[in-house]
Amino acid sequence: QEKLEDVALQVHALGGTASVHRCDLTDIDDIDRMADEVLERHEHVDILINNAGRSIRRSISRSYERFHDYQRTMQVNYFGPVKLILKLLPVMREQGSGHIINISSIGLQTNTPRFAAYLASKAALDAFSRSIGPEIIDDGVHLTTVYMPLVRTPMIAPTKIYDRFPTLSPEEAGHMIAEAIRKRPKRMATVLGNIGQLSYAMVPGAQDLVVNRAYQLFPEGDAQAAKEPTAEQRAFAAATRGVHW
């Protein structure tokens, strides 16, 4: 609540208006409450941006006894947004306009190792959106998926190796979302992400070999982060800017 109110104050200071509506996306009942509160106060929603998410960086070999990792990422990254869409979409269709923007990940295009739980939840939301898109387009409701590169936010802070990775700033990420609002494309991605997606469609085996090299180069744990990066690590990170290895 306090962080949301701080953002609202910044918006007001810039001459805009902002209302705060807190919600716990792991609680389906709380999503209902918040959506009803928003509709009661504002009557409709023009743009919904599903940006909240949980990320887990863990190899499958370390996940055999951690099924709950997959459950909690699905709850926040998939079931939460879907529930919110189901609450707000009828109003958008009734008013004949609306825009839903889902913040996905470049990892979905590059098949990033160690992120199976996270990417599976993002892929589920992507498939959900692509399936309902043809149903609602003639009602004036648009769907956009943003395949966001790595952004330097508190969410990536626990992975110390990312301290040396080239990343997007929050401002650059915000600009991508603003462009998605303005242009309303079906998808928005970086050139590198599109190359990754294309290469997997054409030569999936070859891409697996390249990505496996990254998997070997950037191990788990903080011990590696304390070491000076090798020339190969620096070159690979620079060449794949924004990919969360």
Is residue 50 within 8 Å of residue 143, measured between CB atoms?
A: no
**147 among known catalytic residues:** no
Number of Cβ within a 10 Å radius of residue 92: 23
The residue to which tokens 């023009």 are assigned: 46
Dist. CA 233–CA 245, nearest whole Å: 11
Say whether 239 sits in a helix, a strand or coil: helix
Bridge partners, residue 99, by sequence: 47, 142
* Marked catalytic residue, from 64, 70, 118, 215: 118
Number of Cβ within a 10 Å radius of residue 151: 19
Q: What is the dihedral of CA 24, 21, 47, 176, to 10 degrees?
A: -70
Q: Which residues are catalytic?
A: 118
